[in-house]
Amino acid sequence: MTITNKIVTENLVLQYSDGTESLKDISMNIPVNSISVIFGPAGGGKSTYLRVLNRLNDLANVTTVSGKAHLYSESGDFIDILDPNLDVTALRRRVGMVFARPVVLPMSIRENLTYGLEIAGVRKRSLLHEAIERSLNQAALWEEVQDRLDDPAMELSGGQQQRLCIARSLALEPEVLLLDEPTSGLDPISTGKVEASLQELKKNYTIVLVPHSVQQAARAADYAAFFLQGKLIEYAPGNEMFTTPQVQQTADYIEGRFG
Amino acid sequence: MASISPRETLDRAIDELLAEVIVQGDMVKDALFNAVNALKDQNISKAKVIYDGDRQINQKHFEIEEEVITLIATQQPMARDLRLLAAILEVTTELERMGDYAKGIARITVRIGEEDLLKPVESIPAMAMVCIDMLDRALKAFVERDADAARSIPDEDDQVDNFYNQIYRALMDHMISNPSNIDRANHLLWVAHNLERVADRVTNVCERIVFVVTGEILEMDRTDDEWFADEPW
B145 at A interface, C-beta within 8 A: no
pLDDT at B4: 61
Residue A9: DSSP 8-state:
E
CA distance A12 to chain B (A): 29
Q: Around Cβ A66, how many Cβ atoms within 10 Å?
A: 12
Q: Is residue B228 part of a domain?
A: no
Contact of A255 with chain B, judged by CB distance below 8 Å, is answered with: yes
The alpha carbon of residue A115 is apart from the nearest alpha carbon of chain B, in Å, by 41
Q: Residue A36's beta-bridge partner residues? A: A208, A223
Q: Report helix, strand or coil for A16.
A: strand
DSSP string, B153-174: GGGGHHHHHHHHHHHHHHHHHH
Between CA A110 and CA A148 the distance in angstroms is: 9
CA of residue A221 relative to chain centroid, distance: 13
**Chain A closest CA to B72's CA: distance in Å?**
12
Locate the domains of chain A by residue range. Answer: 5-254
Could you give the ipTM of this predicted complex? 0.71
Nearest chain B residue to A239 by CA distance is B79
Across A160-182, b (16+ Cβ under 10 Å) vs e yields: bbbbbbbbbbbbbbbbbbbbbbb
CB contact under 8 A, B79 and A244: yes
The segments of chain B whose pLDDT lies below 70 read 1-6, 222-233
- Whether B222 is covered by a domain: the verdict is no
Residues of chain B found within 8 Å of residue A254, distances taken between Cβ atoms: 78-79
What does the alpha-carbon distance between residue A131 and residue A124 come to, in Å, rounded to a whole number? 11
pTM of the model: 0.81
CB atoms near residue B74 (< 10 Å): 11
Backbone angles phi, psi at B147, to 5 degrees: -70, -30
In this prediction, residue B232 carries a pLDDT of 47
Is residue B168 within 8 A of residue B101, CB to CB? The reply is no
- Tell me which chain B residues have a C-beta less than 8 angstroms from the C-beta of A237: none
Task: Please report, for the domain that includes residue B89, its CATH number.
Answer: 1.20.58.220
| Residue B151 within any structural domain of the chain | yes
Longest distance between any two alpha carbons in chain A, whole Å: 56
A209 vs A178: CA distance, rounded Å: 6
| A95–chain B nearest CA distance, Å | 32
Residue B225 placed within a domain: no
Relative to beta strand A206-210, strand A176-180 is parallel
Chain centroid to CA B72: how far? 26
Ranges of residues in chain A whose predicted pLDDT is under 70: 1
Residue type, B61: H
A241/chain B closest Cα distance in angstroms: 8
| Long-range CB contacts for residues A231-240, cutoff 8 Å, separation at least 24 | A231/A24, A231/A25, A231/A26, A231/A45, A232/A26, A232/A27, A232/A28, A233/A40, A235/A28, A238/A37
What are the pLDDT digits (tens) for B111-167?
999 999 999 899 999 999 999 999 999 999 999 999 999 999 999 999 999 999 999
Does residue B233 fall inside a structural domain? Answer: no
Q: What is the reported pLDDT for A3? A: 85
Q: How many A-B residue pairs are in contact by the CB < 8 A criterion? A: 31
B221 falls within a domain = no
Containing A165, the helix (H) or strand (E) segment is: helix A158-171
Distance CA B19, CA B31 (A): 18
pLDDT above 70 covers what percent of chain A? 99
Rounded distance between C-alpha atoms, residue A221 and residue A35, angstroms = 6
Residue A34 · residue A199 · CB < 8 Å: no
Does residue B133 sit within a domain?
A: yes
- CATH code, A5-254: 3.40.50.300
The three state secondary structure string of A74-127 is CCCCEEECCCCCCCHHHHHHHEEEECCCCCCCCCEHHHHHHHHHHHCCCCCHHH
Query: What's the pLDDT at B233?
Result: 45
DSSP state, residue B116: P
How far apart (Å, rounded) are the C-alpha atoms in residues A226 and A233? 6
Q: Looking at the domain assignment, is residue B70 inside a domain?
A: yes
Q: Does B83 touch chain A (CB under 8 A)?
A: yes
Q: Could you give the number of structural domains in chain B? A: 1
Name residue A96's beta-bridge partners: A177
Query: What is the gyration radius of the CA atoms in chain B, in angstroms?
Result: 20
**A52: closest CA among A115, A7, A111?**
A7
Please check whether residue A237 touches B, CB under 8 A. Answer: no
Burial string for A46-60 (b: 16+ CB within 10 Å, else e) reads bbbbbbbbbbbbeee
Range of the domain at B73: 9-213
- Pairwise CB contact (< 8 Å): A255 & B83: no
B80 touches chain A (CB under 8 A): yes
